[in-house]
Structure 1
Amino acid sequence: MTDFTLLPDLAARALGGGVIAANDEFFAEKENLLRPAAPVFQPHTFGHKGQIMDGWETRRRRPEFEDGDHDWAIVRLGTPGVIHGVIVDTAHFTGNYPEHCALEACAVEGHPTPEEIAGAAWVPIVPKSALRGDSEHRFAVDVEQRFTHVRLRIYPDGGVARLRVHGQVVPDPRFLTATAFDLAAVENGGQVVDASNRFYSPPNNVLAPGLPRVMGDGWETRRRRDDGNDWIVAQLAARGRITHATIDTSYFIGNSPGSARLQGIDATAGDLDAPDAWFDLLPRTRLQRDTPHRFRITTTQPVTHVRLDIHPDGGLARLRLFGAPTPDGLAALGLRWFDLMPPDQASAVLTAECGAPADWARDFATARPFSDESGLHKALEGTDPLVAARVRGLLGVNPA
């Protein structure tokens, strides 16, 4: 996927993102950075501190209160993952935008305070770069690590309207048990990888958390004037068996699809482009308007991807695909999570979760990536049996 904006916004408020700290927010609150709507501007709308701006804006830096040469804000990602691109939008900031910005990211355990996270191992993801006023700036990121927080630095001061952090979710398998959960949910690592149409709204909306609030929270296609139909293909968080599905048309009253069909495929055994490799999970079934539909799935074949066909077009609010990962699917998820951790976090997890000695933990973290179960088993040869068992248990990998 070459356009990183098609990937989920890991910092989105809907996913639980938040601005946890900023060194200054005199003119406009830091929380505005993550507002989902596009920035707006109403001329000559003044509050006690000046023109009201839809963004984060700091005071003009002066020697009497300076604590450095720039301002900053720290954002907790709603869903940790690999960042592929960042948008820094200075919309409506014309004479008061920063000259430059830079971004860093880090990965930490738990829910740290701003003071605790200040000492984390921050990794540069966007170097100091020039900004323009009233403009959207897109910065590609090529750091293959899983992060939990980002820090936006602006030089020296000024205002930024919005910050978007696009990437791929890498869920923490410690919060995913073998019982049924939503294998397609974006916060668990599900993702729409293809779609027939994105005219009114992005298809990843159907995998978003929570209940829809308005029609715009879902996915809607343009009206078709041919004999075809619209569809999406979702990649699941892990290879698994689906037990039930929800197809929700809430708020779609005059433009819901007439029917829908679900098909699955196991990409470890079949080609996504081979029509014969797909099999029915739910045959074409009538849909009602403005209704959450729940269906039992009786097919026991494991799947890695699901195709949802809607007939002929229209909009859906949500798609939920509940099930349990297969043992190899859970192991693959755990290994990817561990391989993508920054070294400091990986060492800390091995020490805290598995009782591993600090020196061994550092060496083991350095030996990554393991990529598959056999690589992990080989790396654990000669390790204390209790520590090795805990490591395999943490990652969901069965003994060799």
Structure 2
Amino acid sequence: MSMITTSKEELMTKDPMSVPPDFLALPDLACRSLGGSVVAANDEFFAERENLISPGPPQFARDAFGHKGKVYDGWETRRRREPGHDYAIVRLAAPGTVKGVVVDTAWFTGNFPPQVSVEGTSLDGYPSLHELEHCDWTPLVRKSPVRGDSANLFAVDDDRCFTHIRLSIFPDGGVARLRVHGTARPDPRLLTGTIDLAGATQGGVVVACSNTHYSSPSQLLLPGRATNMGDGWETARRREGEKDFVAVQLGARGLIRRIEVDTSFFIGNAPGWARVLGADVPPGHPVPELDVAWREIVPKTKIQPDTRHILHIRGLEPATHVRLEIFPDGGLSRLRVLGEVDADDLERYALEWINALPEGHSLSAGSSSDRSDCVRELLGHRPLSLPGNVPRN
């Protein structure tokens, strides 16, 4: 684990796709707009725990006071007069591998916690608060100092998969936002049938983009419909060149059935046309450099403003990545890549998922106790691999 402290002004004035470290380009698995939830906090006297995962930067109203004191856009506990510390537990929008954490103390200057720690756990299904308080927790960020009114960034080096995150503050104080950047690794039992292969909760992630002037392209992969024009991806007005693009690594290799390009809320600034390319990339290939064999799966098509477009596919070849090109520029609210996970790759994904589970993960593999015993025995023989462990061509 390594730490970088960035002032609020520095973080807000830089393009989030270019700010080091690299984990900031990954989805925030804790964010409310993705489906995260703050399921518990031992104290929220001054400011509500739910503010921790609100999308967008923290706001500050200098003259806002309530009957409990100053109103903060964050989570704030009362001043502790006895030993101990405070904590909040967040359920991630999807199980995932955490690559970095941001503990943002924006606007907390005399009331921020001097130290914090972050832990993760993995539980199957929908655990109760009692189960969460008595399960095993894995340290992701050990007890570390933080600065006030700053975005405190911590890189995480752990390839295991977690469902919940616990933020502890020592001894008390306020935190504006908790960002948990990583890649979703959903339960393979949820990857059957036709799914959104590019969805952030299915493991889809943006790996390259030509322009992020107004907003992050990662918002294209959020679940649900956009709520306004700011809840999408919008480029600057292009004065030279012919197009902008975004490249997405799918959550799993699959057969694409159809593409959805949604321009909802983009009325005077929607693209004129769109084209979609696909690629079947071997594991480990440097896709961010775009040195891959792209093939056209949706030809250049006229796009209408404020419209949800369902686009037909040319052929049904497997793909691991898609590249959406817009001509010449503009904004989109959502991109959906609907299809089925390749059967062989689903089996491989399932084994990788099992290998990534922390030791304490309790897997409810069905109502049959015999089946559950088989799963527990399987977990005891990790790491697992396919027979022969033959890589895909």
TM-score (norm 2): 0.88
For the structure 1 residues 291 and 38, does the alpha-carbon distance in structure 2 shift closer, same or farther, using more than 3 Å as the test?
same
| Larger CA deviation: 1-10 vs 183-192 | 1-10
Q: Which residue of structure 1 aligns with residue 335 of structure 2?
A: 319
Q: Which residue of structure 2 aligns with residue 292 of structure 1?
A: 308
CA distance in 1, matches of 2:368, 2:101: 32
C-alpha deviation, 1:198, in angstroms:
1.3
CA distance in 1, matches of 2:256, 2:41: 43
For the structure 1 residues 87 and 252, does the alpha-carbon distance in structure 2 shift closer, same or farther, using more than 3 Å as the test?
same
Structure with the largest fraction of helix: 1
Q: Which residue of structure 2 aligns with residue 237 of structure 1?
A: 251
Pick from 63, 74, 80: which aligns with 1:55?
74
CA distance in 1, matches of 2:72, 2:380: 46
Letter in 1 for 2:141: V
Residue 79 in 1 paired to residue 98 in 2?
Answer: no
Residue 338 in 1 paired to residue 354 in 2?
Answer: yes
Residue 4 in 1 paired to residue 23 in 2?
Answer: yes
Native 8 Å contact 2:23 2:99 kept in 1: yes
C-alpha deviation, 1:373, in angstroms:
4.8
Larger relative contact order, structure 1 or 2 (CA cutoff 8 Å, min sep 6): 2
How many residue pairs were aligned? 369
| Larger CA deviation: 222-231 vs 150-159 | 222-231
CA distance in 2, matches of 1:14, 1:235: 20
For the structure 1 residues 42 and 264, does the alpha-carbon distance in structure 2 shift closer, same or farther, using more than 3 Å as the test?
same
Native 8 Å contact 2:279 2:292 kept in 1: no
Residue 152 in 1 paired to residue 167 in 2?
Answer: yes
* Secondary structure of 1:153's aligned partner: strand
Native 8 Å contact 1:245 1:297 kept in 2: yes
Native 8 Å contact 1:343 1:362 kept in 2: no
What percentage of residue pairs aligned between the two structures are identical? 49
Native 8 Å contact 1:238 1:332 kept in 2: no
Q: Which residue of structure 1 aligns with residue 203 of structure 2?
A: 189
Q: Deviations 1:322-362 (Å, cap 9, x if unpaired)?
A: 1111111211221221111112226x45697773686x766
* Secondary structure of 1:236's aligned partner: strand
Q: Which residue of structure 1 aligns with residue 231 of structure 2?
A: 217
Q: Which residue of structure 1 aligns with residue 51 of structure 2?
A: 32
For the structure 1 residues 229 and 25, does the alpha-carbon distance in structure 2 shift closer, same or farther, using more than 3 Å as the test?
same
Q: Which residue of structure 2 aligns with residue 309 of structure 1?
A: 325
Q: Which residue of structure 1 aligns with residue 388 of structure 2?
A: 374
C-alpha deviation, 1:316, in angstroms:
0.8
Letter in 1 for 2:43: D
- Structure 1 residues not aligned, in runs of 5+: 377-400
Native 8 Å contact 2:219 2:333 kept in 1: yes
* Secondary structure of 1:215's aligned partner: coil
CA distance in 1, matches of 2:361, 2:260: 36
CA distance in 1, matches of 2:367, 2:157: 29
For the structure 1 residues 275 and 162, does the alpha-carbon distance in structure 2 shift closer, same or farther, using more than 3 Å as the test?
closer
Letter in 1 for 2:318: P
* Secondary structure of 1:115's aligned partner: helix
Q: Which residue of structure 1 aligns with residue 297 of structure 2?
A: 281
Larger Rg: 1
Letter in 2 for 1:312: P
CA distance in 2, matches of 1:373, 1:350: 22
For the structure 1 residues 352 and 261, does the alpha-carbon distance in structure 2 shift closer, same or farther, using more than 3 Å as the test?
same
* Secondary structure of 2:33's aligned partner: helix
C-alpha deviation, 1:366, in angstroms:
4.3
Q: Which runs of 4+ in 1 moved over 6 A?
A: 273-276, 350-354
Residue 116 in 1 paired to residue 131 in 2?
Answer: yes
CA distance in 1, matches of 2:236, 2:165: 36
TM-score (norm 1): 0.87
C-alpha deviation, 1:44, in angstroms:
3.2
CA distance in 2, matches of 1:249, 1:373: 45
